[in-house]
Structure 1
Amino acid sequence: MTNSQPSNEQIANMKKPPVVSPQEWQKSWEELLVKEKELTRSRDALAAARRRMPWVAVEKPYTFEGPQGTLSLLDLFEGRRQLVLYRAFFDPDVHGWPDHACVGCSLGADQVSHLSHLHQRDTTLAYASRGSQENIARLKDRMGWQKIPWYTITSDYDIDFGVDQWHGHNVFFRDENDRIFRTYFINNRGDEAMGSLWSYLDITPLGRQEDWEDSPEGYPKTPRYKWWSWHDTYGNKDAKWHDVVDSAMVELKL
């Protein structure tokens, strides 16, 4: 096995930045912080633009296999309003089969945060592959991915949504009449950042649903931070946390 860690010799031969005083370091950090904040604002603006993307109706029926049998695309929402469906390559012709999924897809699965926070924002994350449910169940148990819903593709879903040859996240929205719309798609290096609550919410049509966001008229919003909770206490109002948030926002002038 090749050692991917840099050797002492490599470290010694690096052209390292200058070593400066704490005051000089602070000045350099503050200069870079300006650019960091510009990037954050740019990222927020991009998410706002996603929320204004046109939608396309999903008219064709798609089937999947789950632990309890055959499911439709609508079933994968689990009753929530939004669905982020990742095409993971755990297929018979993929390197690693049947012990492992694709190395990159596996690394992505390791990054997935606790799903209860996504659920609180009416959003479901699920994975889909061509592997059988028996093999998927064994893989999830072996790799510690039990909480990720993972379905077997049994129709043309992967072909129709651009994920038959490469991984990617498709985002869907379920309206008040249970009609399904495709709202966004991200793949290639865009998948690198996925895994956190915020990275998923920022590609959905409703976004983070917080009061500071730039969203179209009528989109749901709640006060920032106050919807947060410990992942095992959602549904139990925490008045003390609301007091903490109110005090912090006054102090920070938010």
Structure 2
Amino acid sequence: MTVHALPPVVDSATWEKRLEALRAREKAATRELDAIAAERRRLPMVEMPAYTLEGADGPVRLADVFEDKRQLIVYHHMWFAGQDWQCSGCTGFTAQFTRLEFLDAYDARFVIVTQGPIAEALAYKERVGNRMPWYSTANSPFGADVGAPPGGGFAVNVFLRDGDTVHRTWHTDGRGTEQLSHTFPLIDLLPYGRQEEWQDSPEGWPQSPTYSGWATSQAIATAYGPQAETP
């Protein structure tokens, strides 16, 4: 029995015509994204102070977070003091990145920086099975200076290193981070989409409160944390 509304059923020729029209818009959007990326490559940059963060092995200069790379992508993971479970959106988003070696060929690295104390941050990383390198800006103004202050939201920043000098080249937050995800693009391909109330969907399409389909941090820990590896 059909519970939700269905798309109309048409003949193949009609479907192909509608698909062709949609694909023309999709191709135009792809070309616009190419143009945006080209403009991003032409952005000026800002020289950064010599920040010191904290990593698994102790204090580390921002320039050394790059390791031997010249380019660095930083995801600023939301952190709320005293909470057992941190932001489910950040936890779920960063859980996607399990294989980042491909960035080596592009002279780049992708890491997490959070306002949480490094010991707590690393313990949380272990508990939820996160595979990315984590650093703390708890004792540095770095996060606050690049749009991710204590108690603030998530953000992405990109940096370019010239010797020991670090420059900030790009920043985004909010829905700007969706382009880095593979989850939303896959879900958006589905006939019912994300099924969230804010989306423009036909009458009768299943819709639920925003975020209701997102995995909780606890669920991510169950799927990817240490206990998930136990037979």
TM-score scaled to structure 1, two decimals? 0.66
* Corresponding residue number in structure 1 for 2:161: 174
- Match of 1:189, as an amino acid? R
Taking the aligned partners of 2:98 and 2:178, their CA distance within structure 1 comes to 14
* Corresponding residue number in structure 2 for 1:80: 69
Tell me the SS of whatever aligns to 1:166.
coil
- Match of 2:34, as an amino acid? D
**1:88-127 correspondence to structure 2 within 5 Å:** 88-92=77-81, 97-98=83-84, 100-112=85-97, 114-127=99-112
* Corresponding residue number in structure 1 for 2:135: 151
Report the count of equivalent residues: 179
Task: State which of 39, 43, 59 in structure 2 corresponds to 1:70.
Answer: 59
- Match of 2:91, as an amino acid? S
| 1:78 CA drift (Å) | 1.3
Taking the aligned partners of 1:131 and 1:48, their CA distance within structure 2 comes to 35
Task: State which of 150, 160, 170 in structure 1 corresponds to 2:145.
Answer: 160
CA contact (8 A) 1:91 1:129 kept: no
| 1:17 CA drift (Å) | 3.1
Tell me the SS of whatever aligns to 2:86.
coil
Question: Deviation per CA, 1:26-52, whole angstroms, max 9, x where unpaired?
Answer: 221111111110000000000000000
Matched, 1:40 2:26: no
Taking the aligned partners of 1:115 and 1:75, their CA distance within structure 2 comes to 18
| 1:113 CA drift (Å) | 5.1
Tell me the SS of whatever aligns to 1:71.
strand
CA contact (8 A) 1:111 1:194 kept: no
- Match of 1:187, as an amino acid? D
**1:198-217 correspondence to structure 2 within 5 Å:** none
Matched, 1:56 2:42: no
Taking the aligned partners of 2:81 and 2:103, their CA distance within structure 1 comes to 31
CA contact (8 A) 2:159 2:168 kept: yes
Stretches of structure 2 lacking an aligned partner (at least 5 in a row): 186-231
Taking the aligned partners of 1:80 and 1:144, their CA distance within structure 2 comes to 25
CA RMSD of aligned residues (A): 1.9
Stretches of structure 1 lacking an aligned partner (at least 5 in a row): 1-7, 200-254
TM-score scaled to structure 2, two decimals? 0.72
Tell me the SS of whatever aligns to 1:148.
coil
CA contact (8 A) 1:57 1:181 kept: yes
CA contact (8 A) 2:156 2:177 kept: yes
Tell me the SS of whatever aligns to 1:24.
helix
Taking the aligned partners of 1:166 and 1:138, their CA distance within structure 2 comes to 21
Change (3 A) 1:106 1:187: same
Tell me the SS of whatever aligns to 1:41.
helix
Identity of aligned residues (%): 35
| 1:183 CA drift (Å) | 0.5
CA contact (8 A) 1:108 1:194 kept: no
| 1:144 CA drift (Å) | 1.8
